Amino acid sequence: MKMQNAKLKTTYLKDYQLPDFAIHSIDLHVELNEDKTIVHSLLHVERRLPQQTTPLVLHGEGLKLLSLRLDEKPLAQTEYEQTLQSLTIKSVPHSFQLEIVTEILPQKNTSLSGLYRSGKLFCTQCEAEGFRRITYYLDRPDVMSLFTTTIVADKAKYPILLSNGNKIEAGELSENRHYVKWQDPFKKPSYLFALVAGDLVKISDNYQTQSGRNVALEIYVEAQNKDKTDYAMQALKHAMLWDEKAYGREYDLDVYMIVAVNDFNMGAMENKGLNIFNSKYVLASEKTATDVDFQNVEAVIGHEYFHNWTGNRITCRDWFQLSLKEGLTVFREQQFSASMGSPTVKRITDARIIRTRQFAEDAGPMAHPVRPESYIEINNFYTSTVYNKGAEVIRMLHTLFGQAGFRKGMDLYFERFDGQAVTIEDFVKALADANGTDLNQFFRWYNQAGTPLVNVKEAYDAKLKQFKLTLTQQCPKTPDNLSKEPFIMPIKVALYDEKGTKIALECKSNLHKTSEGSFLIVDKETNEFIFENVPIKPVPSLLGNFSAPVKLSYPYTEAELVLLMLSDEDLFNRWDASQRLGTKAIKSLMKDHLADKSLVVPTTLIEAYRELLQQDIPEPALLAQLITIPSFHYVAENLEIIEVDALITARKTLVEVFAQSLEEELAKVYQACQEQDDGSLKNTSMSHRALKNTCLYYLVKAGAKWLKLAQAQYEKARNMTDKMGALSAINHSTSTLRQTLFDDFYKTYQKEDLVVNKWLALQACADLPNVLENINKLLKHEGFDIANPNKVYSLINTFAMSNPERFHDDEGKGYEFIALRVIELNARNPQVAARLLEGLTQWKRLDATHSALMKNALIKIESSGDLSEDVFEIVTKSLK
Ligand code: TRP
Ligand code: ZN
């Protein structure tokens, strides 16, 4: 093994041990300066088992120890030991007080973990293991403590000083400095600690809880953004009300603070009483944010708020339990978003994430169960599997128990574990106990990686009027090589006759009928369901509303799929049918392409889409989803080997033929939507804009004459949604108008950082031959900054994940470009570097040419020198 890897250690769930010590309280005193920051920490420590004599081992990283006193006596050098990751005090009494003074350099912290600078602000990010970069501590979630925090800083530069809980003291100091003291009455793990200092404006509002308590709501932003917080504030109030109504949970402090920062690795952080947000998920005005941005703000505000109960009041025992808080909170966020907007479109968006990102992860080298067994770097496990599949697993529990049973289970969970750090078993057992059942088999969803494949066979007996469905499940092998036991899952089912009329279900075995529909309960390798009194051979609608996170195959004919697309009562499954149709067509075009045949899109398919465009549909945004041709990644998850060039060509052909054949209908729908759109943020207006902009995209593909329409929309746009809609439509065009509009856009919005990021992202996903050259230029543009994660994600990740044609360049230039950026970011910001690797992990699934090129890019990274744990783990697991 190479030297550099000596430090890389794998952590295993099976090795979990309770901590030897409890820290009852921590009194922090943080002195912020322009060069260094001094952190005084006073801990009250007690051994949990009095008979033990183990040493006290505290976590710490990149700290300079200035002084160490135990029960007020300075410790001699021989009494403790320091390594790069720890501080060990060899002999300690049963109960004692420890005073630690450390020096840190937040100005030099480029990893955005621990205490760091974002512009002129000081801020923190402590999840998962950032607190140890601030002071020596037992930095693990099962050590919960009472925090008191005093912040001292220059008064002019940092008038606002914030930390968790309630402000209990403030005052002036000499040399133009001041201090504020905060106390958090709730015990919490260190990952929920937060501190912010800077010159920020405060936007205030308030909320009265269901029990009549008044809560001050405060959003802190830079002065120039003070007109962009209304939407977030409203979203927060909606979230507070929703959690009271849906779960009976109310907020528990007198103040709820949100701070927007520009430099942040992830979306946002649920620190107790003091959420820190990536500005992207707070700041939104109609001039700068699209409808999708508004929806994301609402979702993330909700997500972090819901963590107060699912994450903070009840937290994780260890990081293997991450989905205990994340899966559950994503599920709650999904329910909230569904209640605020369109449940069907929300469900489609979420299913897309699973079917593209999560399925890819499950089939790749980083595959892991919702509760992983081991990790090298925990930051690599904030994944789509833990978050999104974790939410799907909770959703299945919700389906199996129904809303009332699920609520009973949640109530018991809160009652049993409030104030504790617990495991996923604890959660699942609470749900099982409340419903008088056991969930032993269900628990496999947490322990087994991989996406189950459910194969469905049908047989119709006209004489007996019986329809039989045979479902066989199989879960592919994953890198852990463990054998897989069958999962239990609810598969939503309905049967339709040839006119699209529902047939009543009569089935003796295992059919679970609820107010949400009927579900086949599948729990064995093979399950059989016989439906009686079925007058004709029916068309089954299966896995409605995406009732389980599996791949389901059924031998649908094109005609059957068209029927479902046009008339399934389960609106989600109309979309599913549209995607099955699109995928089927693309696969068949791929075959023709590989056989050197000319590509012909079946007219029956186009005619079905034509009917769809002429039909009255429940909502325009749903129609927009139905006419969206499956993406590269979506189809890729349905392929054995991803023949890159064939897939890209086939998909392009379908899009072009679709656009050209349906030009007239698309133009009509565009016009109708334009008339219905009053420019407001009402759901129906957003819905019309979604469809309008989807139509515009196809129209520009249909012919150059539609460029004028895009230009007109761009010029007359009342909001960012329409501006971006126009610019996205024109983005892939070779006309000179493209550059004119892009230049105008930059000139107009160059002071709006988040809008500049959209400008970067659009250029990164342009379907044009010179994209990589342009991106290389943009790396040096004033609107780009490699230190800012949002900009890195916009320009570099968008290229890797949303520009398949250029990323999968036939000479490997796209892969190499990403490899170089990973190498560049590896030391500066390991978390961000690791996130750029996602696209490179899939090399084994590509055709031979692309596979070899992608592997080379990984080898290039592997041999580039000293790798961070984050990058090392993904690269080596990928190359295995
Ligand atoms: N807990 C955060 C959430 O709401 C995730 C998060 C924010 C995070 N910042 C982070 C995780 C930094 C790891 C590192 O989902
Ligand atoms: Zn979260």
Distance 604 CA to ligand 2 centre (A): 45
Task: Compute the average pLDDT of residues 193-216.
Answer: 98
pLDDT number for residue 510: 79
Distance 305 CA to ligand 2 centre (A): 9
The closest residue, in CA terms, to atom 9 on ligand 1 is 266
Task: Compute the average pLDDT of residues 117-133.
Answer: 98
pLDDT number for residue 5: 47
The closest residue, in CA terms, to atom 2 on ligand 1 is 269
CA-to-CA distance for 201 and 227, rounded, in angstroms? 11
pLDDT number for residue 2: 34
Ligand 1 atom nearest 307 alpha carbon: 4
Percent above pLDDT 90 for the chain: 98
Mutate to test the pocket of ligand 1, among 111, 113, 127 (most ligand atoms within 8 A of CB): 127
pLDDT number for residue 8: 81
Residue 481's Cβ-count burial label (10 Å; 0-12, 13-18, 19+) is exposed
Q: How many residues does the structure list for the chain?
A: 880
CA-to-CA distance for 727 and 740, rounded, in angstroms? 11
Instruction: Give yes or no for residue 251 CB within 6 A of ligand 1.
Output: no
Ligand 1 atom nearest 311 alpha carbon: 1
Which residues, other chains included, contact 470 with Cβ-Cβ below 8 Å and sequence gap of 6+? 456, 457, 458, 459, 526, 527, 528, 529
The closest residue, in CA terms, to atom 11 on ligand 1 is 127
pLDDT number for residue 852: 98
Distance 201 CA to ligand 1 centre (A): 25
- pLDDT at residue 6 tops 50: no
Instruction: Name the H helices within 736-835.
Output: 736-749, 753-764, 771-778, 789-792, 798-802, 804-807, 813-828, 830-835
Task: Compute the average pLDDT of residues 384-390.
Answer: 99
pLDDT number for residue 616: 86
Per-residue pLDDT tens for 321-373? 999 999 999 999 999 999 999 999 999 999 999 999 999 999 999 999 999 99
Tell me the pLDDT band of 738, cut-offs 50, 70 and 90. very high
Tell me the pLDDT band of 617, cut-offs 50, 70 and 90. confident
Task: Compute the average pLDDT of residues 694-701.
Answer: 98
Pick from 111, 134, 146: nearest CA to 195: 134
The closest residue, in CA terms, to atom 4 on ligand 1 is 269
Ligand 1 atom nearest 325 alpha carbon: 1
For residues 623 and 672, is the Cβ–Cβ distance under 8 A? Answer: no
CA-to-CA distance for 205 and 227, rounded, in angstroms? 14
Residues noted as catalytic: 304
Per-residue pLDDT tens for 490-535? 999 999 999 999 999 999 877 999 999 999 999 999 999 999 999 9
- pLDDT at residue 704 tops 60: yes
Tell me the pLDDT band of 215, cut-offs 50, 70 and 90. very high
pLDDT number for residue 592: 98
Bridge partners for 177 per DSSP: 154, 173
Tell me the pLDDT band of 7, cut-offs 50, 70 and 90. low
- pLDDT at residue 3 tops 50: no
Distance 329 CA to ligand 1 centre (A): 12
Task: Compute the average pLDDT of residues 288-302.
Answer: 98
Instruction: Give yes or no for residue 654 CB within 6 A of ligand 1.
Output: no
Per-residue pLDDT tens for 820-860? 999 999 999 999 999 999 999 999 999 999 999 999 999 99
CA atoms within 13 A on the CB side of 857: 29
Instruction: Give yes or no for residue 451 CB within 6 A of ligand 1.
Output: no
Pick from 691, 686, 563, 556: nearest CA to 627: 691
Instruction: Give yes or no for residue 522 CB within 6 A of ligand 1.
Output: no
Per-residue pLDDT tens for 61-116? 999 999 999 999 999 999 999 999 999 999 999 999 999 999 999 999 999 999 99
Distance 260 CA to ligand 2 centre (A): 16
Tell me the pLDDT band of 745, cut-offs 50, 70 and 90. very high
